[in-house]
Amino acid sequence: MFNKVLFPVVFTDQTEQMVGCLAGLSKSGVKEVLLFHVISISEIMEDRYANEIYDEAMLEKWKSYLQDFGLKVEYKIVTGIPWIEIIDTAEKGNFSFILIGSHGSSFIDRLLLGSVAERVIQHAKVPVLIYKFKRDSVGGLVCQNIFERILFCTDFSSSSEKCIPYVENMLTNHNQRLIILHVQDLRNLRHVQPEKIEEFNRIDLERLDELKKHFERVGFKNVMTLLTTGYSISEILNYAATEDPTIIVVGKKGKTNLKEMLLGGVSQTLIHKSNKPVFLVE
């Protein structure tokens, strides 16, 4: 189970919704939360004292709210370079994942996500859960069913293999649905002979079946596999729109085993184009 979550706090209109997400995650096994606010050294102002009083009051309020859901909650305010402080705290604190908010699936989303979040996503060794804000949400337990319908996208790389134990930890009840999706990306098949493609399909179908049996052994009762051909981003987004998963799980690195440049690979593009929460594994 996921026990400990790091939530980097940025004081915006959507922060209450993120706190509601943390409360909802208490229904999925989360036990402990750190509300972590970094005051950027580039933004220290003369009246910072007044702002710190407000910040601490809000953190205390959210701490009390989350404790009502049985969570162990602490908050911390530090001064430094935000993304470095967040990553350093995540790696030293034995956190299950980092929770970050995003505004959705538009081009402007990259700007709204912010350079701090971008760098955390790019450099974090700890998994990152990117929650997509809901415009019509007014609070409440918005993430309590976030693991109800899991879409696990795999390319059978080592990064995808690292996703497997995290998907296992998302198992909370026997009514959950798990879809395992693999896309034969046309960009990699341009110069491949048809008979070779058939061989690839046969091998990958066997791999998908092995994954299905594995997840059934650990307790998933409703597991489906899908092998499709096309462009990875389009196929994943189209399938997500059709099947309406509650979360998408994907590895950060592809088969090249080289770290993808931000927005340069499937996982990073998915973060910005998907309107579903994305669980990103290093």
CB 199 within 8 A of CB 207: no
CB 193 within 8 A of CB 233: no
Q: What pLDDT, on a 0 to 100 scale, did the predictor assign at position 221?
A: 95
Task: Give whole-number Cα distances, 262 to 98, 118, 120, 265, 274, in Å.
Answer: 18, 8, 11, 7, 15
Angstrom distance (rounded) from CA 265 to CA 253: 8
Q: What pLDDT, on a 0 to 100 scale, did the predictor assign at position 255?
A: 59
Q: What pLDDT, on a 0 to 100 scale, did the predictor assign at position 47?
A: 58
Q: What pLDDT, on a 0 to 100 scale, did the predictor assign at position 108?
A: 42
CB-neighbour burial class of residue 231 (10 A; exposed 0-12, middle 13-18, buried 19+):
middle
Angstrom distance (rounded) from CA 245 to CA 247: 5
Q: What pLDDT, on a 0 to 100 scale, did the predictor assign at position 144?
A: 85
Q: Which residues in the chain show pLDDT less than 50?
A: 105-112, 257-264
Q: What pLDDT, on a 0 to 100 scale, did the predictor assign at position 49?
A: 62
Task: Give whole-number Cα distances, 227 to 3, 201, 259, 280, in Å.
Answer: 33, 8, 25, 21
pTM exceeds 0.85: yes
**DSSP-assigned beta bridge partners for residue 34:** 6, 74
Residues with Cβ within 8 Å of residue 38, at least 6 apart in sequence:
8, 77, 78, 79, 80, 81, 82, 85, 86
Q: What pLDDT, on a 0 to 100 scale, did the predictor assign at position 96?
A: 95
* 3-state SS record for 215-253: HHHHCCCEEEEEEEEECHHHHHHHHHHHHCCCEEEEECC
Please, how many CA atoms are within 13 Å of residue 239, restricted to the half-sphere of its CB? 26
The backbone torsions φ and ψ at residue 106, rounded to the nearest 5 degrees and listed phi first, read -100, 170
In this structure, how many other beta carbons lie within 10 angstroms of the beta carbon of residue 69?
17
Q: What pLDDT, on a 0 to 100 scale, did the predictor assign at position 245?
A: 96
Q: What pLDDT, on a 0 to 100 scale, did the predictor assign at position 187?
A: 79
In this structure, how many other beta carbons lie within 10 angstroms of the beta carbon of residue 81?
15
CB 250 within 8 A of CB 281: yes
Catalogue all structural domains in the chain, each as residue range(s) with its CATH number. Answer: 4-132 (3.40.50.620), 149-276 (3.40.50.620)
